[in-house]
Structure 1
């Protein structure tokens, strides 16, 4: 399948062109869906066996990363670094001033896969919520994970919705396609939403959507974050 993209006006800079590419509408594959694809191709292992092995692999990588190791595979390389300034040579790590960061780099197989990507241009509906960035305000993680019951923020354009309309709002869609609506709204502006993540959400991947009747539109338009969010275990 091709990588779908559209062009959106470049509101940040006029240098080098008036439009930028926005990727959207592409399929999301979880570990379970990938295993199902493997089995359909005739793999001799069962779905349960494959998921068990992958979980062991994930646990091993997680342990190595937690120990500060560099993990290098055919798909990716992940290493750790420290962000923040130190006052002098005797200064030490302080969680209030410094932060451990993870650095990811595509491996050889992903680089080769990128070269094979086919593209398909589509016409974007500009009058729809555009989710530029999600931030878990309890951890400052962006576009990666969220903490149930904790505050979060979305930045973008055309985000404001009518909170009195039960069909509009912020929604999280689980892998089984069940939906959970955000009930506690703190800030509702066209460029920024602040809210409390539903505390009943459990481990798994979630698609984040904003549904709103934007200015000069008569029907609900939907915008979604480009990548799924992972619920942090409480």
Structure 2
């Protein structure tokens, strides 16, 4: 099956003076959990029981994780992973407050070959879409201001879901105090990143009923990945300084 990525053409918010400059915004197909992936594997009719597939996949994840964090450079064919270090080691002693470990993922042969066989379908221009285009600075610092650029981002509405949340890799969610929202414009949000967030990759979720001169009956959401601390130079996350996050369907259309 040939893979197809569907994209919308949206304004490039960086080049304000060029009204014809467009960038591609991925049409999200949704979010999948490990269980969703296991269900897809079971549909392949391998003859394996669902619990067998789950056991093998979880065993694989654990073994790969243990090997990476034992200092091995792991090449799965789909990706290459290796542990990396952050921070200057003062006095020859490891200091968890200054030093940390992260894992760098880069695409490998199988994924590169799959990308080469993937086509892009342009759906047209989306004028009323809500999206995240990028961040300033490129990576966040806990307790410091952080700016999100995009479109239709203004926090507005009375629905209980309206607001900004930050979710870590363990699916622990931290709400952003809206009293710390210094700039609340359709094209830009600036807020104080919650103090105490550890360095790493996070998912930013912005939910609002804003739709220009009116409020939507149903809130919509934009999702993007960003980093607290130093972004891995060869990391495989999405979003960040390059911009681009997921979007929810526009209820106003």
Query: Structure 2 length normalisation: TM-score?
Result: 0.61
1:55 and 1:104 map into 2 onto residues whose CA distance is 19
User: Aligned to 1:210, what secondary structure does the other structure show?
Assistant: strand
Compared CA separation, residues 217 and 127, structure 1 to 2 (3 A):
farther
* CA RMSD across the alignment: 4.2
Contact 1:169 1:210 survives alignment (8 Å): yes
Separation in structure 2 between the aligned mates of residue 154 and residue 40 of structure 1, nearest angstrom: 43
- Hey, what does 1:214 align to over in structure 2? 211
Scaled by the length of structure 1, what TM-score is found? 0.65
Gaps of 5+ in 1: 141-150, 173-179, 198-205, 228-234
* Cα deviation, residue 70, structure 1: 1.2
Structure 2, unpaired ranges of 5+: 166-172, 195-202, 226-253
Shift of 1:54: 0.8
Partner of 2:29: 26
Preserved contact between residue 160 and residue 193 of structure 1 (Cα < 8 Å):
no
Q: CA deviation at 1:215?
A: 2.5
Counterpart secondary structure, 2:126: coil
**Equivalence for 1:60:** 63
Structure 1 pair 71/82, CA: closer, same or farther in 2 (3 Å)? same
Deviation per residue, 1:29-82 (Å, 9 max, x gap): 332222212222212111111111111111111212222321111111111223
Instruction: Look up the SS of the partner of 1:38 in the other structure.
Output: helix
Is 1:155 the equivalent of 2:155? no
Residue pairs, 1:95-114, within 5 angstroms: 95-114=96-115
1:47-126 → structure 2 map (5 Å cutoff): 47-84=50-87, 93-126=94-127
Q: Deviations over 1:79-118 (max 9, x none)?
A: 122344578xx66554444443322111211111111212
| Structure 1: distance between partners of 2:61 and 2:71 | 16
Whole-Å separation in 1 of the counterparts to 2:75 and 2:118: 23
Moved more, 123-132 or 70-79: 123-132
Query: CA distance change for structure 1 residues 207 and 160 in 2, over 3 Å: closer, same or farther?
Result: closer
Q: Deviations over 1:176-226 (max 9, x none)?
A: xxxx995953434232365899xxxxxxxx894523213234535623215
CA contact (8 A) 1:129 1:156 kept: no
Shift of the 193–127 alpha-carbon distance from structure 1 to 2, 3 Å rule, reads farther
Contact persistence 2:7–2:121 (CA under 8 A): yes
Which stretch shows the higher mean deviation, 30-39 or 105-114?
30-39
